[in-house]
Amino acid sequence: MEQAMALAQAIMTSLLDADLSGSELARDFEKSMGFFWQASHQQIYQELRKLAAKGWLNKREVNQSGKPNKIVYGLTLAGRESLAEWVYGPTRVQPTKDELLLKLYNLNEDNVEHIVGEITARREEVMKRLYLYEAVRRRHYDDPASLPVRHKGVYLALESGIHQGEQFLAWCDEALSLLASVEKRKA
């Protein structure tokens, strides 16, 4: 239930500034909130239908020339009120599920090389994400003090992602250094 509720609020937050179709929402979601909240296109479409049924979203059909019509969703007053009420509620942190950390509990001389490869690959993924975060920060949030209030919140979420990524890179470097000594002994 918590997953569905947070997804509902993530979708409604994505619709604060503009009405969007399901595909536009999924694309924008991947470029913003998708950095810290994962949802498949199917989950997004299911949640859109539920939110519309609750009266928190309206939907309208938009004609497109040469393409099928699209359904565009927007926040209703009831949706905005629900979202505002949710902001004042308690915040829940989702527990981390990371197979890499579980694999570390199974580290031994036989699999250390493989684990080092996984840590290296994860480090590269985080580096790519940090590069993207930095590009977004430079492009849209270069002067945080002059941002409108809501965009300051987006900036702070982006900064959190940057700090977490930098912290994870430092952990990767520490882990790789420690495991290099195991690999040397093995050789």
Helix (H) or strand (E) holding 30: helix 22-31
Helix (H) or strand (E) holding 86: helix 77-88
Running DSSP on this structure, what letter comes out for residue 110? T
User: Quick check: is 149 in a domain?
Assistant: yes
Q: Phi-psi region for residue 122, left (φ > 0), alpha (ψ -120 to 50) or beta?
A: alpha
Q: Note whether 141 and 84 are same-domain residues.
A: no
CATH number at residue 48: 1.10.10.10
Q: Note whether 54 and 133 are same-domain residues.
A: no
Determine the structural domain holding residue 106 and report its residue range.
99-186
Which residue among 65, 88, 111 closes a domain? 88
How far is residue 58's CA from residue 56's CA, in Å, rounded to a whole number? 7
User: Quick check: is 58 in a domain?
Assistant: yes
How far is residue 105's CA from residue 86's CA, in Å, rounded to a whole number? 38
Q: Note whether 6 and 79 are same-domain residues.
A: yes
Q: How confident is the model at residue 93 (pLDDT cuts 50, 70, 90)?
A: confident
How far is residue 137's CA from residue 115's CA, in Å, rounded to a whole number? 32
Q: Note whether 177 and 103 are same-domain residues.
A: yes
Residue 31, pLDDT above cutoff 90:
no
Residue 21, pLDDT above cutoff 70:
yes
> Which are the contacts of 133, defined by CB distance < 8 A and separation ≥ 6?
35, 158, 161, 162, 165
Domain count, the chain: 2
User: Quick check: is 93 in a domain?
Assistant: no
Q: Note whether 43 and 103 are same-domain residues.
A: no
Residue-wise pLDDT for 94-150, tens only, equals 777 789 999 999 999 999 999 999 999 999 999 999 998 899 899 889 999 999 998
User: Quick check: is 94 in a domain?
Assistant: no
User: Quick check: is 143 in a domain?
Assistant: yes
Which residue among 67, 88, 109 closes a domain? 88
Per the CB < 8 A criterion, the answer to whether 171 and 101 are in contact is no
Q: Note whether 180 and 120 are same-domain residues.
A: yes
Phi, psi of 130 (to 5 degrees): -65, -40
How far is residue 137's CA from residue 159's CA, in Å, rounded to a whole number? 8
Q: How many residues does the chain have?
A: 187
